[in-house]
Chains A and B, each alone.
Chain A
């Protein structure tokens, strides 16, 4: 079980050398959502939403209103009649209510409790100034919480994911199916909207677990048994699919064994994220980088964590952050490696047990199509250990740092110690000048 790459205590590239523990939640914290440049909200199983200052770690507001755990949260900035932009957040809870909160005042703006089932996902179509709630049916609301239209009852299991597509369309993951809906202004009413089912895509063999929009032209879905399908966002056709990409199909002799060892849970696509070139998939314990152009996995870390990877995110600087059930957060860097000619294909033994880079190179070497393709690999550049339980999610705040939330009820703000130190110096000298101490005692 020592197959996970470790980095040790010396992490020169890890900028996070200071941390703040934010306490407040009494149960698992599952969601973190950014409100603006320096604020974020956290929510979880205790039904409380906290608003935090990402710089100071100060608790800004404590929003009470839900009686059950929070199932979905979405930020919503409305810039309507009044010029100033108000930051709202929408939260859905297992108590079958949805509440809109004002982030500045910390007050509840409105509350809807007419749902027949728990709302599992929320999507804001900022462009249309409406938001959608997905449960057993799909509802469209405007900002004033007027129900504009809704679909018929779709499924008891409910919509697990929603993503906005071009042309006023949304894709909803309902079980194994992917349903495309189109929103259209109704003919008779000025405010009225209609929602129509346009297409049902049934290419997945198992429940769709993640759904992400890459750009205006493509979106990607991932399923529980590790299928990854790239869709055209305009005509909803399958552009590419990668199935079983997590196993080393090039070695048929070892494949069965690997399949045996990998339970369905370990092949589930837990989370997807993307930049313009690549889709990053958290599959089981591993991280895979799928290149959209090349239509293949260009790099992977099979066992990036000791246990399931729950969330990954791509940073602007070619870095990738992942968090996992094992309580750790890891920072990866996607590096290009010059292909060494005639690298021997490693033995199946190493493949089987996944000995870090060797394994990965072997995999790529085996999968490569052209000889001159640069080979990428994921280099572990740092890990953040602080939580004592599964890290559910994290939020990257750029310079301000990184917020992680966990099942141990804590939120940790990881910060760049150097930057914080100089910021403190700045504050210090400001305060000195304020107090007039500069002349007096020093």
Chain B
């Protein structure tokens, strides 16, 4: 790992005087931003503001058509996390900034209701009173029973650290988009199910009605229709209309994947394994559905008995709304929760740590030759999130090769930092427009040294959401009444000379906020809207099922695509938009009516009222449902209960993941105080790094630390591992052996595969092939006759092995007199934490790797300069290089030679071809070490 703890100390200090700048500044990618509040002498790792929650969490809220905004669940499901934080209130906040371009209504010129496939909106929001900042991801799910068929939801990542939200915006956005896509996929499936059921019902109803009408006709010989008969006929007609409409809806929802597939950015959510499909298919489905992306989900078809239904559905207040789980299908709901837990783990902790982690990852990616040795490179295969954004922007994507992509990662962080800084000074404005382009010169100034490729990135960045840099209003929201102030940067843009033009921009739009809410940034569905998608855009679902509501006057001319590029064309349309009365919106209780009107809302003062007027709602029936969905065991939930109370009761029932993650967190946070005295432990890492193997790393680090303190012969043991001599840990107690193996595994160089050549527990006799494959083996010492064989094999192959006897605490292995391992494993080390020690080890190993890299790739060290040069002189040169240039002594040379050999093998190995594993060994005497 490159991010050694000491690197963190090098923060960027731009405010310092020049005379303090003696040494040349650190390269950008190594520097970490200066903690903004460090001037106050506060503990830099303490929480910034008096936030009422202890750590970051994810909140899922819904704008319920019955009760208004309400929180559904938090991740982790732990009351301690949200503390006294008012989730209800915050739900209101986050739901009030929903800028999804959704629009529901009856499209003019269309007879049928249209489903509007809405892009998610991404907003950054700050609440200075609460000390909470949130990335808010709004999404709309379909529900046949809901008003306008839509249920607005949002997922919010809530943190006390504003910088984290701003700097991790891209990542958050990508990750949340995945979760959202998962939810929506499940929802589409469930919606289609529901429609089919409804269709069957309707069909059945029609048949029944038809029969009744026929019977009536037959029975009726009077020649005129009774009122009853007319009623029946009307009912029949309305059922038939309803059938047609539902069929149309079904067609629309099924055609969705087709349409989306054309969009390069769309990745249909695929369930991982077929096993899970069993419960996926628990809802009946039409097997004829043939969408490529989702077809396989519609497989299991239990028979459904249609029932007679009324043509007109019940009033929305009478019925119970579906829970999120019901809306999305259990499988997808679980998947989403997993993804959200993943997000929570990924972004946990201090932003400094996250940044360091990202930087080190970016750097690691560049070390394509050596990084396999000691690093977990599996994540390098993951698609970097930036790619998607670039793809979406379509900017110079062709020109980018892998390398650019890699490199763009590191500077990225810096860029967004810069933009943030500039924005802090910015006068709060009432945002009318996104200031995209104006920001570019400014930003690029700060990153002049960056490569050209980064400009692409910048562009993408800006058009994405961090761009809001300029538009961020920080904390001082009370000022925001100041009307339509244009920022200087805006003024500099000819294209945006007039506020009118600005208004046409669909970019982030700030609302005048009397209270403490600020929209720091939005990502107004800037993700591309596919061509064919636009066609259906100006349409919306008719409010047919709710025909009773007096909506006659409501006819929106929906605005065209919200895509930035289309902005200018929309001006006229938007001017002509009918303004909707806010009360009307509230009456309808559907925030979706607000969403399409993002523009208008900005102009209408009543919009604020529209949101704020709704007081925070206590939990009611539907909410309870929602929670029950998540925690099935929970019964007897009283209406007014706050979510954390619920959660505290259900901590035991909560998901394993969150529990374990909580453990980690509490562990690490509690450690801060205890370890603060030693400087090596000042790692700002209350956070766990994002890798799934972190827990393992940490445990390995702790065990390794214990090992080097406990065993005086740790050095030769580690030397064995580093020089490729298989170390066998022999012992009776499996747990103890495994612990030792775990501890030592961090020193084992990997030979190319994703897994380290470590075998934790073996009970049978070892063979040569095992030493070829495994470099660290835990072996059972048994008293049985089999055990004799085991020991016999050990003595037979002793020349290939170092044997650490865990029972008698002895080590039999070659002598080590070098100095590298001494630095690596100093038993008097001041490091106290496992993860810190792990990083220490990684940084020294990285040094070794770079030495090995140099050694491997210096041509003349291995091959003669001229043809006539004798082999001896090459050998001499090689040894001189190792000793003098690389400063290696004695056995350290062997370590580097072994690593170099691994590098060579890895490099020359043909991809796809496994290659025979080699066993290299030396004929060196072994010694027996005792405690």
Chain A contacts to B: CB under 8 angstroms: 8-12, 14, 17-23, 56-58, 382, 385-388, 410, 412, 417, 420-422, 424-429, 431-432, 442
Contact = CB atoms under 8 A, between A and B. Distances in A.
Contacts, number: 84
A427 B908 contact: yes
Nearest to B366: A441
Contacts of A12: 923
A18 B916 contact: no
Nearest to A415: B918
Contacts of A11: 923
B907 to A, nearest CB: 6
Contacts of A9: 798-799, 923-926
Contacts of B919: 18-21
B772 A21 contact: yes
B901 interface: yes
Nearest to B768: A386
Given A58-B916, A387-B768, 12 more contacts: A9-B799, A10-B923, A10-B925, A17-B920, A17-B921, A19-B772, A19-B918, A21-B769, A21-B919, A57-B916, A421-B897, A442-B857
Contacts of B856: 425, 428
A428 B856 CA distance: 9
Contact of B768 (A412, A421, A427): A412
B908 A18 contact: no
A410 B859 CA distance: 36
Interface in B760-807: 767-769, 772, 793, 796-799
B392 interface: no
Nearest to B862: A425
A12 B918 CA distance: 21
Interface of B: 767-769, 772, 793, 796-799, 856-857, 859, 862-863, 897, 901, 904-905, 907-908, 916, 918-926
Contacts of B907: 428, 431
Nearest to A8: B925
B836 to A, nearest CB: 32
A10 B863 contact: no
B768 A426 contact: no
Given A56-B916, A425-B862, A442-B857, A382 B904 contact: no
A20 to B, nearest CB: 5
B923 A382 contact: yes
A365 B336 CA distance: 88
A260 B27 CA distance: 84
Contacts of A410: 768-769
A403 to B, nearest CB: 13
A42 to B, nearest CB: 15
Among all A-B residue pairs, the 9 with the closest Cβ atoms: A425-B862, A11-B923, A424-B904, A427-B908, A57-B916, A18-B920, A9-B925, A386-B768, A10-B925
Contacts of A417: 920-921
Contact of B904 (A17, A388, A425): A425
A425 B925 CA distance: 28
A185 B102 CA distance: 100
B885 to A, nearest CB: 16
Contacts of A17: 920-923
Contacts of A57: 916
A8 B798 CA distance: 10
Contacts of B859: 429
Contacts of B796: 385, 388
Contact of B908 (A20, A428, A442): A428
A14 B923 contact: yes
A163 B921 CA distance: 40
A425 B921 contact: no
Contacts of B797: 385
A18 B921 contact: yes
A53 to B, nearest CB: 10
Contacts of A428: 856-857, 904, 907-908
A422 B920 contact: no
A11 B926 CA distance: 13
Nearest to B919: A19
Contacts of A18: 918-921
Nearest to A57: B916
Nearest to B926: A9
Contacts of B918: 18-20, 420
Contacts of B923: 9-12, 14, 17, 382
Contacts of B862: 422, 425-426, 429
A426 B920 contact: no
Contact of B863 (A412, A425, A442): A425
A58 B862 CA distance: 25
Nearest to A14: B923
A388 B792 CA distance: 11
Contacts of A22: 916
B924 A421 contact: no
A428 B900 CA distance: 11
Contacts of B901: 421, 424
B410 to A, nearest CB: 16
Nearest to A417: B920
A235 to B, nearest CB: 49
A297 to B, nearest CB: 30
Given A426-B863, A442-B857, A21 B908 contact: no
Contacts of B905: 424
B896 to A, nearest CB: 12
B901 to A, nearest CB: 6
Contacts of A19: 768, 772, 918-919, 921
Nearest to A424: B904
Contacts of A58: 916
Contacts of B924: 9-10
A388 B799 contact: no
A388 B863 contact: no
A58 B767 CA distance: 21
Contacts of B857: 428, 432, 442
Nearest to A408: B767
A10 B815 CA distance: 13
Nearest to B923: A11
Contacts of A424: 901, 904-905, 908
A361 B814 CA distance: 35
14 contacts: A9-B799, A11-B923, A17-B920, A17-B922, A18-B921, A19-B772, A19-B921, A20-B919, A21-B769, A385-B796, A385-B799, A424-B901, A425-B856, A428-B857
A18 B920 CA distance: 4
A23 B769 CA distance: 10
A274 B798 CA distance: 34
A11 B925 CA distance: 9
A412 B768 CA distance: 10
A58 B914 CA distance: 11
Contacts of B769: 21, 23, 410
A385 B798 CA distance: 10
Contacts of A427: 904, 908
A10 B922 CA distance: 8
A20 B919 CA distance: 6
A388 B908 contact: no
A441 to B, nearest CB: 8
Of listed B905, B918, B925, residue having the most chain A CB within 10 A: B918
B767 to A, nearest CB: 6
Contacts of A386: 768
A2 B448 CA distance: 77
Nearest to A421: B901
A163 to B, nearest CB: 36
Contacts of B798: 9
A14 B923 CA distance: 8
A386 B801 CA distance: 12
B834 to A, nearest CB: 35
B814 to A, nearest CB: 9
Contacts of A429: 859, 862-863
B795 to A, nearest CB: 10
Contacts of A426: 862-863
Nearest to B767: A388
Contacts of B925: 8-10
